[in-house]
Amino acid sequence: MTDAFALLGEERRPWINADALKDRFQAMSGPLHPDRFHGAPEAERTAVGHRYADLNSAYQTLKEPRDRLLHLLELELGGKPKDIQRIPPGTMDLFVEVGQTCRDCDEFLKKKAAATSPMLRLQVMQAGMEWMDRLLDLQGRIRAAGDTLGSELSGLNPIWASAPPVGTADRAAALPLERLEQIYRALSYVARWTSQLQERIVQLAV
Protein backbone atom coordinates (compact mmCIF):
# COMPACT_ATOMS: atom_id res chain seq x y z
CA MET A 1 0.00 0.00 0.00
CA THR A 2 1.33 3.44 -0.96
CA ASP A 3 1.83 5.69 2.07
CA ALA A 4 0.37 9.06 1.04
CA PHE A 5 1.89 10.71 4.09
CA ALA A 6 5.40 9.54 3.20
CA LEU A 7 4.93 10.42 -0.47
CA LEU A 8 4.18 14.04 0.44
CA GLY A 9 6.73 14.20 3.24
CA GLU A 10 4.04 14.48 5.92
CA GLU A 11 4.16 12.85 9.33
CA ARG A 12 1.42 10.32 9.98
CA ARG A 13 -1.22 12.13 11.99
CA PRO A 14 -5.00 12.53 12.08
CA TRP A 15 -5.16 16.28 11.51
CA ILE A 16 -3.32 18.27 8.83
CA ASN A 17 -3.56 21.97 8.07
CA ALA A 18 -5.28 22.08 4.67
CA ASP A 19 -3.48 25.21 3.45
CA ALA A 20 -0.05 23.91 4.46
CA LEU A 21 -0.76 20.59 2.75
CA LYS A 22 -1.81 22.38 -0.44
CA ASP A 23 1.37 24.48 -0.41
CA ARG A 24 3.50 21.37 0.04
CA PHE A 25 1.72 19.57 -2.81
CA GLN A 26 2.10 22.52 -5.16
CA ALA A 27 5.80 22.90 -4.30
CA MET A 28 6.46 19.20 -4.98
CA SER A 29 4.21 18.76 -8.02
CA GLY A 30 4.80 22.11 -9.75
CA PRO A 31 8.18 21.15 -11.26
CA LEU A 32 6.65 17.87 -12.45
CA HIS A 33 3.63 19.28 -14.22
CA PRO A 34 3.25 17.54 -17.61
CA ASP A 35 3.19 20.89 -19.44
CA ARG A 36 6.86 21.37 -18.52
CA PHE A 37 7.88 18.17 -20.29
CA HIS A 38 5.96 18.29 -23.56
CA GLY A 39 9.25 18.28 -25.51
CA ALA A 40 11.03 15.64 -23.42
CA PRO A 41 11.62 12.05 -24.55
CA GLU A 42 8.62 9.75 -24.15
CA ALA A 43 10.24 7.67 -21.39
CA GLU A 44 10.91 10.80 -19.35
CA ARG A 45 7.39 12.14 -19.95
CA THR A 46 5.94 8.82 -18.82
CA ALA A 47 8.05 8.70 -15.65
CA VAL A 48 7.23 12.30 -14.77
CA GLY A 49 3.56 11.70 -15.49
CA HIS A 50 3.48 8.75 -13.10
CA ARG A 51 5.24 10.75 -10.39
CA TYR A 52 2.84 13.67 -10.82
CA ALA A 53 -0.18 11.34 -10.72
CA ASP A 54 1.12 9.67 -7.54
CA LEU A 55 1.57 13.02 -5.81
CA ASN A 56 -1.88 14.18 -6.89
CA SER A 57 -3.46 10.95 -5.66
CA ALA A 58 -1.71 11.31 -2.30
CA TYR A 59 -2.87 14.91 -2.01
CA GLN A 60 -6.47 13.99 -2.80
CA THR A 61 -6.30 11.28 -0.13
CA LEU A 62 -4.94 13.52 2.60
CA LYS A 63 -6.82 16.76 2.00
CA GLU A 64 -10.26 15.44 3.02
CA PRO A 65 -10.41 14.42 6.72
CA ARG A 66 -12.61 11.38 6.07
CA ASP A 67 -10.34 9.98 3.33
CA ARG A 68 -7.25 10.80 5.37
CA LEU A 69 -8.55 8.93 8.42
CA LEU A 70 -9.45 5.84 6.38
CA HIS A 71 -5.96 5.85 4.85
CA LEU A 72 -4.35 6.32 8.26
CA LEU A 73 -6.38 3.46 9.71
CA GLU A 74 -5.40 1.21 6.81
CA LEU A 75 -1.74 2.05 7.31
CA GLU A 76 -1.80 1.47 11.06
CA LEU A 77 -4.02 -1.63 10.97
CA GLY A 78 -2.57 -3.17 7.83
CA GLY A 79 -6.00 -3.27 6.17
CA LYS A 80 -9.45 -1.71 6.09
CA PRO A 81 -11.23 -1.34 9.46
CA LYS A 82 -14.24 -3.54 10.10
CA ASP A 83 -17.83 -2.47 10.72
CA ILE A 84 -17.31 0.96 9.19
CA GLN A 85 -21.06 1.21 8.46
CA ARG A 86 -21.95 0.85 12.14
CA ILE A 87 -23.48 4.01 13.61
CA PRO A 88 -20.80 5.65 15.77
CA PRO A 89 -21.45 6.60 19.41
CA GLY A 90 -23.09 9.98 19.97
CA THR A 91 -24.71 10.20 16.54
CA MET A 92 -27.86 8.12 16.95
CA ASP A 93 -30.10 11.12 17.69
CA LEU A 94 -28.93 12.90 14.53
CA PHE A 95 -29.24 9.66 12.55
CA VAL A 96 -32.89 9.34 13.55
CA GLU A 97 -33.65 13.05 13.07
CA VAL A 98 -32.08 13.26 9.63
CA GLY A 99 -33.86 10.12 8.46
CA GLN A 100 -37.26 11.28 9.66
CA THR A 101 -36.74 14.81 8.35
CA CYS A 102 -35.81 13.55 4.89
CA ARG A 103 -38.84 11.26 4.76
CA ASP A 104 -41.19 14.05 5.86
CA CYS A 105 -39.62 16.48 3.41
CA ASP A 106 -40.01 13.99 0.57
CA GLU A 107 -43.73 13.77 1.34
CA PHE A 108 -43.97 17.56 1.23
CA LEU A 109 -42.10 17.67 -2.09
CA LYS A 110 -44.67 15.26 -3.54
CA LYS A 111 -47.46 17.62 -2.43
CA LYS A 112 -45.56 20.55 -3.88
CA ALA A 113 -45.28 18.84 -7.26
CA ALA A 114 -48.99 18.00 -7.22
CA ALA A 115 -50.18 21.52 -6.33
CA THR A 116 -51.95 23.11 -9.29
CA SER A 117 -54.36 25.79 -8.07
CA PRO A 118 -53.04 29.27 -7.15
CA MET A 119 -54.29 28.84 -3.56
CA LEU A 120 -52.52 25.54 -3.11
CA ARG A 121 -49.35 26.91 -4.66
CA LEU A 122 -49.37 29.83 -2.20
CA GLN A 123 -49.79 27.45 0.72
CA VAL A 124 -47.02 25.23 -0.60
CA MET A 125 -44.73 28.23 -1.05
CA GLN A 126 -45.21 29.30 2.56
CA ALA A 127 -44.69 25.77 3.83
CA GLY A 128 -41.64 25.44 1.59
CA MET A 129 -39.99 28.42 3.28
CA GLU A 130 -40.54 26.78 6.66
CA TRP A 131 -39.04 23.56 5.35
CA MET A 132 -36.05 25.47 4.00
CA ASP A 133 -35.39 27.00 7.42
CA ARG A 134 -35.77 23.61 9.07
CA LEU A 135 -33.31 21.92 6.73
CA LEU A 136 -30.77 24.73 6.97
CA ASP A 137 -30.92 24.62 10.75
CA LEU A 138 -30.35 20.86 10.79
CA GLN A 139 -27.56 21.19 8.24
CA GLY A 140 -25.91 23.80 10.45
CA ARG A 141 -26.04 21.50 13.47
CA ILE A 142 -24.51 18.70 11.43
CA ARG A 143 -21.75 21.03 10.25
CA ALA A 144 -21.07 22.02 13.87
CA ALA A 145 -20.80 18.35 14.79
CA GLY A 146 -18.23 17.92 12.02
CA ASP A 147 -16.25 20.91 13.29
CA THR A 148 -16.20 19.39 16.77
CA LEU A 149 -14.81 16.16 15.36
CA GLY A 150 -12.16 18.13 13.50
CA SER A 151 -11.06 19.80 16.72
CA GLU A 152 -10.78 16.40 18.38
CA LEU A 153 -8.58 15.18 15.53
CA SER A 154 -6.21 18.08 16.09
CA GLY A 155 -5.96 17.07 19.74
CA LEU A 156 -4.92 13.53 18.73
CA ASN A 157 -1.83 14.67 16.82
CA PRO A 158 0.48 14.68 19.89
CA ILE A 159 -0.35 11.00 20.52
CA TRP A 160 0.83 10.11 17.02
CA ALA A 161 3.93 12.27 17.45
CA SER A 162 4.94 10.40 20.60
CA ALA A 163 3.98 6.90 19.42
CA PRO A 164 6.58 4.17 18.82
CA PRO A 165 8.12 4.25 15.32
CA VAL A 166 6.28 2.93 12.30
CA GLY A 167 6.80 -0.80 11.92
CA THR A 168 7.38 -1.57 15.61
CA ALA A 169 5.25 -4.19 17.32
CA ASP A 170 3.93 -1.92 20.07
CA ARG A 171 2.90 1.01 17.87
CA ALA A 172 -0.75 0.03 17.32
CA ALA A 173 -1.35 -0.51 21.04
CA ALA A 174 -0.11 3.02 21.76
CA LEU A 175 -2.56 4.66 19.33
CA PRO A 176 -6.31 5.34 19.91
CA LEU A 177 -7.28 3.52 16.74
CA GLU A 178 -10.74 2.58 17.98
CA ARG A 179 -11.60 6.23 18.61
CA LEU A 180 -10.09 7.19 15.25
CA GLU A 181 -12.36 4.67 13.56
CA GLN A 182 -15.37 6.10 15.40
CA ILE A 183 -14.48 9.61 14.21
CA TYR A 184 -14.04 8.33 10.66
CA ARG A 185 -17.48 6.74 10.73
CA ALA A 186 -19.01 9.88 12.24
CA LEU A 187 -17.45 12.07 9.53
CA SER A 188 -18.78 9.67 6.90
CA TYR A 189 -22.29 10.14 8.26
CA VAL A 190 -21.79 13.92 8.46
CA ALA A 191 -20.90 13.98 4.75
CA ARG A 192 -23.82 11.72 3.86
CA TRP A 193 -26.34 13.72 5.88
CA THR A 194 -25.07 17.02 4.50
CA SER A 195 -25.51 15.70 0.96
CA GLN A 196 -28.99 14.34 1.66
CA LEU A 197 -30.18 17.62 3.13
CA GLN A 198 -28.55 19.69 0.38
CA GLU A 199 -30.35 17.62 -2.27
CA ARG A 200 -33.70 18.47 -0.70
CA ILE A 201 -32.76 22.13 -0.19
CA VAL A 202 -32.12 22.36 -3.94
CA GLN A 203 -35.48 20.72 -4.69
CA LEU A 204 -37.24 23.16 -2.38
CA ALA A 205 -35.60 26.10 -4.13
CA VAL A 206 -36.83 25.07 -7.60
User: Which CATH number do you get for residue 49?
Assistant: 1.10.287.110
Kindly state whether residue 110 falls inside one of the protein's structural domains.
yes
| 149 shares its domain with 199 | yes
Q: What is the pTM of this model?
A: 0.87
Give residue 184's pLDDT.
Answer: 93
- Where in the sequence is the domain holding 30, given as residue range(s)? 4-63
Q: What is the pLDDT of residues 49-99, one digit of tens each?
A: 889 999 999 999 999 999 999 999 999 998 888 766 678 888 899 999 999
Domain assignment present for 85: no
Cα–Cα distance measured from residue 117 to residue 159, given in angstroms and rounded to the nearest whole number: 63
What total of structural domains would you count in the chain?
2
Asked if residue 117 belongs to a domain, the reply is: yes
Tell me the per-residue pLDDT of 112-128, one tens digit each, with 9 for 90 and over.
999 888 888 888 999 99
Q: How confident is the model at residue 179 (pLDDT cuts 50, 70, 90)?
A: very high
For residues 157 and 68, give the distance between their C-alpha atoms in angstroms, rounded to a whole number: 13
Q: CB-side exposure of 6: number of CA atoms within 13 Å? A: 5
Residues 56 and 10 in one domain: yes
Do 106 and 53 fall into the same domain?
Answer: no
When mean pLDDT is compared across 29-38, 51-60, 195-204, the lowest value belongs to 29-38
The mean pLDDT value of the chain amounts to 92
Is the domain of 100 the same as that of 199? Answer: yes
Helices 92-114 and 177-205: crossing angle in degrees, nearest 10, is 10
Cβ neighbour number for residue 181 with a 10 Å cutoff: 20
